[in-house]
Structure formats: structure tokens, C-alpha cells
Amino acid sequence: MRVLLLNPPGRRTYIRDYFCSKTTKSNYLFHPIDLVVLSGTLAERHETQVLDAMAEGLDEERALARVARFAPDAVISLVGSVSWDEDRAFLARLARLGPRVLALGDVLQEDSETRLAEEPWLEAALHVFVNQDAVHYLEGNLAEVREMTLRRPDGRIERIRSRGKQRGSYRVPRPRHELFPGRGYRFSFARSARFATVLTDYGCPYPCTFCVIGTLGFQTRPVQDVLEELDHLRARGVREVFFMDQTFGVQKPRALELCLALERRGDLSWTAFTRPDTADDELFAAMARAGCHTVIMGVESADEGVLASTEKGYSGAEIRAGFARARRHGLRTVGTFIVGLPEETEESLERTLALAVELDLDFMSLNMAVPRFSTPMRARLLEQGLARPGDLVMDQGGASSSLSTHTLDRDAMERLKRRMVRRFYLRPAYLWRRMSRARNLHELASQAREGLALLSKNF
């Protein structure tokens, strides 16, 4: 079978990835991990190609021409709530070329039966990308499907669910990174232009109410499988990696095993997400020895009440201690924040900005609060009347606001968010530190491009 993995075109640069979607906050665009993982699963049994119209900068007409040239039997496409109106129109046109169309993305994680009923071009929705559901479905083995919404041969639409959240381990064939474009991907923290995006576990064991990843269960890949993938990348000359695990080090012995193997290889440079209460001195030290240079950790808010309401599971004191540990081990730090939660006020945003400065962050990443599909926070916002069930288009990247708070309307939230970005990044001492710590010309140029792109979106 000829199968095309597709990241559709769009009027803006969209990140459709891991059941989250947003506009890029500056200029970055990393490999969509869903398609990266599926590339190994599909290519093991079928002739598989990848078309990432975002990375290649293709418009609709050129993307459709490329699809027609490959003449796939089936297309598995990413979709996103940030681009849903564009995605559904484009994929309806694509379906008229003849292929079967499957899709996965945040907008299909909730009420997927309704989406299939509304969109006749959509044959099925994938809800997990680290199992064999896509292969089983395309080959007609419907009894083996575990997590999909699909049209039965008699036309009935059915949501197939596993029992409970998936736990334990999973295995996937080695992802085929070579199928993805060699150019067009950009990562704010990479120290070289060429990098790869890698997943070593799936889902998250933490219950943060605003995040869909915590609804997926938690499974890990065998370390040897991860090393096989990394060694394949090394053989292709890739030395920079972005680990997409939501919390590197959840299982500390496994993380230390992986770090020791990377330390012995001695030639990889990488970035990872973790939590300030998870990564202790032993883990940070092992990560640094293994080539990690940047860690991304959630701060979310300076307000203890907001942290408690989102079930983050840690306090402001633990946040401060975690970032201090990372700095002691020579790691650059990225703090991620959510602005616009229901309890947000102008005063709470001032406290959050002050905390970002106090933490001495290398980078601050602001995400707008959105009612993400299938999350506990969405249920709460719908109940409070701060979100509407029919609003399917939303952008956590902050190009537009999706929510009002109890005291701030959408326009005020957008204005305050832009002001926070300017006040953090335009400090003279900060700018000097960023430029003076660049390790090479690529990093210096990349920092300048990313900074200008970020600021252009916040004036």
C-alpha cells in the first residue's frame, strides 16, 4: 500500500504536534513527533512517504500537486484546533483525489464521532500514535484496533476505546527520520542547524488539569530501542536532539541509564523537558555529562493558588530550588508559563513576570490558556461559561486569545501578554548575556532571528 504521512499547509506557521496545536511563538518549527513515530510503523509494512508542507513552505496548490504525484492509497494527516477550518477545507479537496483520509490531532480527541459525522472526507481518527492501530485499520484488521474513531463498513461511526489509561512499555519500529525534509525545521535552543526530534516515552503520569498529555496514560520505550534510533541519527551526521518526552526523568533509573549511554557516546547535544521537583542534582549532573545543554520546565504562575488549581503538584519554593539546581549544573533554563487562566488578574501577571526575572531564566515561554480538548480544565471552563463547546478553533501560542478571565477580557489579556514579553526580553543586561553566551555563529544568528521574530509578534 502507498501511504502518505502529511502535515498540511497553512496561512501561518502552525505547530500540530502530540495532540496540541498552536502558532509558532517566534520562528521555530520542529519535526511533528506523531508523524516521526508513525513513519517507522508504516514504512515497515508499506511504501511510505512524508510531506511536511509546513517545513517546505508549500501552499495548497503545490501540496496537492505533490500528493497527486505520489498517488497514495491512504493519507494520514495531522490536523489542529489552531488551523481546523483550513485543515478541513484542504483535506476535503485532497480526498477528491481518491485516497482514504485518516487524521489525528487535538480537535479529534473529544467528541470525535461528531467530527466524523460532520466531515464526510474523514474516514477515521487515530487517538494513539505509538501502537499498531494505523496498520491494523488500513489492512482491515478492525478487531485488533484499540483506540480509534472509525466508520464501519455499514456506515456506522464508532469510537473504540481501550480499558483505562495505557501503562507499562511500548515498542515501535525505528522512526524513518530520512523521510522528512532535510531543511525547513528550526529549533530555538539547538546549537546546530541540523537536529532531530525524538520520543523516548509516551504520555505523562502527572495530572495537570490544562494538559492533554496527562490524559494519555504513560508508557516508556526500551532504552536500547531509543539508542538504536539515536545511533541511526548519528550515522547520518545528526548531533543535536530535541527529546519530546513531557518529563525527562520520570523513571529516574531509566533516565540515568540513557544518560550514561549518551555520555559514553560523547557526541550528542540536546534539550529536554523536565519538572523542577523531579530533576534532582544527580539527574541534572547526569544530563549535563550526557550532552544536555538546555532544560525546559513548567512554572505556569507565581500564584500558589493557581498552581494548586491546576494540580501542578509543586510549590513556588520547589520551582525556585529546581531552577537553581539546573543553573548549578551549567544548564540553560527555559521557564514555561500559562497566562489567562480564570483566576488571572493584572496583578497576578505582574507577579509572574517578577518571578521569571527572579529565576534568572535564559528564556521565557508564555502560553495562552486555552480549553484544550479532553482536559479537566476544559470541563471546568465550560461549566463556568468561560468557554463554549462549539468553539473548535483556539491557539495556545498566543497569536489570539481564546478566553476571558473573571476580571480581564480577551483584548486585555493579549495586550498584557505582549507587554510581558517585551519587558522580559528587552532588558539590556539580558540581551548582553544572551548574545555573549552564544557558542558559535549558528547559535548567535539563530538567537537573533528567534528574538526578532518573537518581538515582532509582541508589539
Structure confidence at residue 337 (pLDDT):
93
Note the pLDDT tens digit of each residue in 368-382.
888 899 999 899 888
User: Helix, strand or coil for residue 366?
Assistant: strand
Backbone angles phi, psi at 135, to 5 degrees: -65, -45
Residues linked to residue 203 through DSSP beta bridges, in sequence order: 218
Average pLDDT score over residue span 107-136: 97
Q: Inform me whether the pLDDT recorded for 402 exceeds 70.
A: no
- 3-state SS, 376-438, equals HHHHHHHHHCCCCCCCCCCCCCCCCCCCCCCCCCHHHHHHHHHHHHHHHHCCHHHHHHHHHCC
Radius of gyration (C-alpha) of the chain in whole angstroms: 21
Identity of the residue numbered 38 = L
Query: How would residue 120 be classed by pLDDT, with cut points 50, 70 and 90?
Result: very high
Mean pLDDT, the chain, rounded, equals 93
Note the pLDDT tens digit of each residue in 231-271.
999 999 999 999 999 999 999 999 999 999 999 999 999 99
Which range has the worst mean pLDDT, 62-76, 318-332, 394-408? Answer: 394-408
DSSP 290: T
Q: Which domains does the chain have, with CATH numbers?
A: 2-160 (3.40.50.2300), 187-456 (3.80.30.20)
Q: Inform me whether the pLDDT recorded for 411 exceeds 90.
A: no
User: Helix, strand or coil for residue 238?
Assistant: coil
Query: How would residue 171 be classed by pLDDT, with cut points 50, 70 and 90?
Result: very high
Give the cell for residue 42. Answer: 508504516
CA distance 270 to 456: 28
Note the pLDDT tens digit of each residue in 192-204.
889 999 999 999 9
Note the pLDDT tens digit of each residue in 9-50.
999 999 999 999 999 888 899 999 999 999 999 999 999 999
Structure confidence at residue 163 (pLDDT):
75
Backbone angles phi, psi at 172, to 5 degrees: -135, 150
Structure confidence at residue 165 (pLDDT):
73
Average pLDDT score over residue span 132-141: 97
Give the cell for residue 108. Answer: 479529534
